Structure 1
Amino acid sequence: MPAPLDIDQLKTFAAIVDAGSFTRAADSVHKTQSAVSMQMRRLEERIGKPLFVKDGRTNRLTEDGEKLIIYARRMLRLNEETLAAFDENRLEGLLRIGTPDDYADRFLPEIIARFAKSNPNVELYIVCESSNDLGEKMARGELDIALVTHNPRVRQSEVVRTEPLHWVSSANHTAHETTPLPLAVGRRNCQWRQLACSALDSVNREYQILFTSWSSTVVASAVLAGLAVSLLPEAALRPGMRILSPADGFPPLAPAQIGIMRRPGVPASLMNAISQHISASLDNITPMPLAAMEESDQGFVQMRPRQRNGHLMPGW
């Protein structure tokens, strides 16, 4: 019977992927660099495949390394959940979480499911409002942690994910060819609304705001119905949407960023636990690359999942 994989080796392997280097990973797992290198040699021997390949002065994952990191993260999470289930000193209390509704749709199911399994005695209080309102609630101490659109001019947050922001239209309609261009966006102080208007102004594209809502469902519905054009981050693209490019007359957009805000004074054990679950959940979201979106004979945009490399995307 094959020997089981070593959890400590997998933990070090994941640390290297997250940190981007053996040296930084050694600091995070409190080992010497030589010890980290030894662990990776033993892990490669156990797997029977090389996990890293030299790329100039850095190391990057091989195809087998990318495959292993997916399983390694699952095993590490299950290990943590198993230990937590038998921990008599497990976390208890109330944790107040804020997020815009579009982030809630995409991220909260994974976050809540994972956190509840390992911390069944912690009550989660969820607030879904705009990033601006959440920032104000954080300032008043009404929330413990919030996922927000990162905007350093308005509020301070730690960037945890970055992904492309796209102009989108319906694949079955021609709203993007209309003049003035019909838009579906957030309210006046919405960062993405301001970005959209500034970008269109920069190319002298005439537009008209027809739909205003904080609800991502309302905005996406207007787009899919062919009533308006909007802008969405890559992970929020839906079947039936078409990405609009400069060839369609739409200027490129700056990437979308997600930030975490934390309230000082929350017990470190509780804050660290939820922060780790949020980071792991964001890492599990698989964005749709442009190459995975193809137009079918019926004109619909089909979306096919791509293989992830296990890295937490820097930023959004």
Structure 2
Amino acid sequence: MSILLDPDQLRTFVAIAETGSFTRAAEVVHKTQSAVSMQMKRLEERVGRPIFTRDGRASRLTEDGERLLDYARRIVKLNLEAVSSFTDTALSGRVCLGVPDDYADRYLPDIMARFSRTHPSVELTVICEPTSDLTQRVAAGSIDIAIITNTETSARNAQVIRRERLMWVSSARHAVHLETPVPLALGRTTCEWRALAVSRLAGTGRSHRVLYTSPNSGAVSAAVLAGLAVSVFPESALRPGMRVLGTGDGYPSLPPCEIGLLRSRHEPSPIADALAHHIIQGLDNLTEAEAAQ
């Protein structure tokens, strides 16, 4: 007989993997540390292999644990979707989501698929525009919810749901990053990553010029991959053929990229609430313990 994995044990397993600690994971899943340890002992018995190894006070995954983690995340998410589809009140109507095109490429397929499965009677409208435009649309009430880039300088009441490293990138097959002045491919003048990149280079005294400008991330990527310019990208947007540049290459460090969820303050919408829930499930890489810190 096949051995079935316990979703509750897998949820705890994912929490440990993301926090690196049984103690912090216990806070996330609201269990005692001894209960967490017992769950992991039983999970290892179920799979028949060790999934953790100790590294000082931290708990690291074994090779088998890394393999199990991918399955665990998918099983936990699917379990939540299944429960949601039977417990949520049937919703119908329309909801409008705003998202920058680079986030749309990476995140929309999964979000739309899961939302459609659980709320098949809802009509979803998607508008792809830069963050600055989406912010104005949310304020005006023309869209219900937006996935945006949140920065230290932006005065937005966005809920930060994901944090990634922001990196300098160039083509792996060219040496454009060595040129003086450095040619840059960036978003339009209102793009906050553009302002950040220019100010950081100026702070190091390195000469540069903006050679390519486009609000479309695909066009910026094309300039980078063709070896025509250097740009800045979040970690999840890196493509094959790109080279990450660091301080050793003469490029200053950048603050992390924060992805936020911005909600309309106009009439409350249960449909928008449901969509927000799916977006958070799909994008969230911040554990409760990290958020509390």
Deviation at 1:53, TM superposition (A): 4.2
In structure 1, the residue matched to 2:188 is 187
Distance 1:222 1:195 in 2: 19
Question: Which of the pair is proportionally richer in helix?
Answer: 2
The structure with higher relative contact order (CA 8 Å, sep 6+) is 2
Q: Secondary structure at the match of 2:123?
A: strand
Spell out, residue by residue over 1:30-68, the C-alpha distance to the aligned partner (whole angstroms, 9 max, x if none): 555544443333223222334444444454444433322
Q: Secondary structure at the match of 1:251?
A: coil
Deviation at 1:150, TM superposition (A): 1.3
- 1:159 to 2:160 alignment: yes
In structure 2, the residue matched to 1:77 is 77
Q: Is the 8 A contact 2:145 2:272 kept in 1?
A: no
Q: What amino acid is the match of 1:66?
A: E
Which segments of 5 or more consecutive residues in structure 1 lack a partner in the other structure? 285-309
Distance 1:81 1:233 in 2: 28
Deviation at 1:161, TM superposition (A): 2.3
TM-score when normalising by structure 1: 0.76
Q: Secondary structure at the match of 1:77?
A: helix
Q: Is the 8 A contact 1:80 1:118 kept in 2?
A: no
In structure 1, the residue matched to 2:252 is 251
Give the 5 Å matches for 1:1-316: 1-17=1-17, 22=22, 25-26=25-26, 29=29, 31-83=31-83, 89-154=89-154, 155-264=156-265, 266-267=268-269, 271=273, 273-282=274-283
Which segments of 5 or more consecutive residues in structure 2 lack a partner in the other structure? none
Q: Is the 8 A contact 2:164 2:257 kept in 1?
A: yes
Distance 1:30 1:240 in 2: 43
Spell out, residue by residue over 1:81-139, the C-alpha distance to the aligned partner (whole angstroms, 9 max, x if none): 44455568333332321111111111111221222222222222211111122222222
Q: What amino acid is the match of 2:68?
A: L
Identify the range of structure 1 (82-91 vs 273-282) with the bigger mean alpha-carbon deviation: 82-91
Distance 2:40 2:259 in 1: 32
Q: Is the 8 A contact 1:185 1:230 kept in 2?
A: yes
Q: Is the 8 A contact 1:172 1:226 kept in 2?
A: yes
Distance 1:23 1:96 in 2: 40
Distance 1:88 1:204 in 2: 56
Change in 2 beyond 3 A, CA 1:91/1:244: same
Deviation at 1:24, TM superposition (A): 5.7
Distance 1:255 1:88 in 2: 35
Q: Secondary structure at the match of 1:199?
A: helix
Q: Is the 8 A contact 1:17 1:311 kept in 2?
A: no
Distance 2:18 2:169 in 1: 31
Distance 2:281 2:251 in 1: 34
Distance 2:241 2:6 in 1: 44
Deviation at 1:216, TM superposition (A): 0.6
Q: Is the 8 A contact 1:200 1:250 kept in 2?
A: yes
Q: Is the 8 A contact 1:102 1:215 kept in 2?
A: yes
Q: Is the 8 A contact 2:95 2:125 kept in 1?
A: yes
Distance 1:24 1:266 in 2: 34
What do you get for the CA RMSD once the two structures are aligned?
3.2
Distance 1:225 1:214 in 2: 18
